[in-house]
Amino acid sequence: MKFYQLSPKQRRSILEQEGIELTEIDSDILNKLDQLSENVVSGMYLPVGVVQNLVVNHKKYIVPMVTEEPSVVAAANHAAKIFAQNGGSVSVSQRDGIYGQIVMKITSDFNLKDLKKEIPNLIKKVNIKFSSLVKHGGGLQSIEMVKKDARQFNEDGELLFVKVLVDPAAAMGANKVNSILEFLKDTLLSFPEVQEKLFAILSNYPSQLTTAKVELDPDTVGGMEVAKRICLLSAIAEDDIYRAVTNNKGIMNGVDGVLLATGQDFRAIEAAVGVFASRSGKYRSLSQWRIKNDKLIGELTLPMAIGVVGGSIKARNDVQQSFDILGQDITVGELANVITTIGLANNLSAVLAISTVGIQAGHMRLQARNIVADLDANHIEKNKIVQELVKNKNYTKEFAIQILNELRGNN
């Protein structure tokens, strides 16, 4: 049998015979993980932290975040508290649909004008075939067609590019869009001038845009001078790519944490965000901070192709736990609003730290926690050691052991 055809236990046995030491894992958990991926031999576990009081559109949420970096959760909580003091965020989710693309080879006799006349019929035919999606409020929304000379791709002949927009309702929609594209591709192949399909697949181009906005009293961030410094950092990130990419990484620290917790395709969001940040032709900051009418105003827009049904969401108990925390009745639009607001919160905490004490302090506290993680010490001892490491700004394992010995009265 091939490796992928073996049971997880058999795969583990092969690796162990090669001298690889694998961590112990419950067999039931291992078998469940095997249903989610390929060639499974073990599992990894990440902590689930929460943001306690995120206010979005006058509604309070407890938000789960999956990340190994405690400063990300702490930063989100810190900014969420500031947001709440100022009434929270106002957020709007525009969920028109996600894109799909078909590219086909066509003959020299192909008449684009004639095929475009068939677009209403094609949309109707697809939506009849996928009537269950239509019943849930979704369906194929539009079809656009463009003919291109294949020579620009170092190929003879001509190509037909078909772009579709599909409303996936409450799902992220990748599987449904791909199914629609395959059906539409087969229909197009019935036209005599259409020769063959090159590909038919969804596009992760930015869609389903969500905007979160906050208006803050400068006193809640440390005063007007701090607010002005935040705006200066924002302006620099608009112009300087080195600052922009780090600014955006800080935003995605929080966004990815919630995407992971709620079972989303965070890789698709990351890819779309990269394109969206470059939409002007230059890579820029995703967020903007400015002062208007003596208020510090922050705004963030993100592509947010997510779902609250579909995929593995209902099949995973850990993801369902996250929805229990958020509220099982949360809509896909509300979840998009929450995630984007978390991104803005993490952004505020980062630029606020840079504008005041510097961000390194939080990172070094994380370093201190990592140093003591594998010490043979109890929870109280570890907390005291972390405090001493930070106080003395000495982040070495040797100093941590010295403190532990002093706590225990050892020489």
Centroid of chain to Cα 117? 39
| Inside any domain, residue 43 | no
222 torsion bin: left (phi>0), alpha (psi -120 to 50), beta (else) = left
Geometric angle at alpha carbon 341, from 340 and 344, rounded to 5° = 90
**SS3 letters across 220-284:** HHCCHHHHHHHHHHHHHHHHCHHHHHHHHHHHHHHHHHHHHHCCCCHHHHHHHHHHHCCCCCCCC
CATH of the domain at 62: 3.90.770.10
Within 8 A by CB and 6+ apart from 321, the residues are: 48, 64
Provide the pLDDT for residue 380: 86
Among candidates 287, 303, 291, 293, which has minimal Cα distance to 348? 287
What is the gyration radius of the CA atoms in the chain, in angstroms? 26
| Inside any domain, residue 41 | no
| Alpha helix positions (H), 35-155 | 70-85, 112-116, 119-129, 131-135
Do residues 173 and 235 both lie within one domain?
Answer: no
- Sheet containing 287-292: which strands, arranged edge to edge? 90-93, 209-216, 295-303, 287-292
Do residues 271 and 344 both lie within one domain?
Answer: yes
Do residues 88 and 106 both lie within one domain?
Answer: no
* Residues designated as active site: 69, 249, 265, 363
Whether 285 and 238 have beta carbons less than 8 Å apart is answered as yes
- Three-state secondary-structure class, residue 62: strand
- Domain closes at, from 202, 226, 250: 202
| Inside any domain, residue 402 | yes
Do residues 54 and 102 both lie within one domain?
Answer: no
Do residues 146 and 257 both lie within one domain?
Answer: no
pTM value is 0.85
Q: Extract the tokens encoding 128.
A: 């009849």
| Inside any domain, residue 329 | yes
Residue 159 one-letter amino acid: L
Q: Extract the tokens encoding 40.
A: 């499974």
- Three-state secondary-structure class, residue 282: coil
- Domain closes at, from 187, 202, 217: 202
Q: Extract the tokens encoding 382.
A: 């570890």
Provide the pLDDT for residue 312: 79
- Three-state secondary-structure class, residue 124: helix
pLDDT in single tens digits along all 411 residues of the chain = 899 999 999 999 999 999 999 999 999 999 989 988 999 999 998 999 999 999 999 999 999 999 998 899 999 999 999 999 999 999 999 988 999 999 999 998 999 999 999 999 999 999 999 999 999 999 999 999 999 999 999 999 999 999 999 999 999 989 999 999 999 999 999 998 999 999 999 999 999 999 999 999 999 999 999 999 999 999 999 999 999 999 999 999 999 999 999 999 999 999 999 999 999 999 999 999 999 999 999 999 999 999 999 877 888 899 999 999 999 999 999 999 999 999 999 999 999 999 876 545 555 666 677 788 778 888 888 888 888 887 787 878 888 888 888 888 875
CATH of the domain at 122: 3.30.70.420
Consecutive H or E run containing 33: helix 27-34
Do residues 24 and 71 both lie within one domain?
Answer: no
Whether 322 and 295 have beta carbons less than 8 Å apart is answered as no
Do residues 380 and 399 both lie within one domain?
Answer: yes
Query: What are the backbone dihedrals phi and psi of residue 91, each rounded to the nearest 5 degrees, phi first?
Result: -135, 145
Number of domains in the chain: 4
Do residues 104 and 164 both lie within one domain?
Answer: yes
| Inside any domain, residue 134 | yes
Q: How many CB atoms lie within 10 A of CB 409?
A: 6
| Inside any domain, residue 376 | yes
Do residues 402 and 352 both lie within one domain?
Answer: no
| Inside any domain, residue 343 | yes
Do residues 296 and 382 both lie within one domain?
Answer: no
Provide the pLDDT for residue 359: 45
Whether 287 and 347 have beta carbons less than 8 Å apart is answered as yes
Do residues 270 and 338 both lie within one domain?
Answer: yes
- Quote the DSSP letter at residue 218: G
| Inside any domain, residue 39 | no
- Sheet containing 158-167: which strands, arranged edge to edge? 139-149, 158-167, 98-106, 194-202
Geometric angle at alpha carbon 257, from 133 and 373, rounded to 5° = 150
Provide the pLDDT for residue 87: 98
- Three-state secondary-structure class, residue 53: strand
- Three-state secondary-structure class, residue 206: coil
Do residues 269 and 318 both lie within one domain?
Answer: yes
Residue 146 one-letter amino acid: V
Query: What are the backbone dihedrals phi and psi of residue 102, each rounded to the nearest 5 degrees, phi first?
Result: -125, 135
Query: What are the backbone dihedrals phi and psi of residue 28, each rounded to the nearest 5 degrees, phi first?
Result: -65, -40
Domain that includes residue 166, residue range: 98-202
DSSP 83-112: HHHTT-BEEEE----EEEEEEEEE-TT--H
- Domain closes at, from 202, 226, 241: 202
- Burial readout 150-167 (b: 16 or more C-beta within 10 A, e: otherwise): eeeeeeeebbbebbbbbb
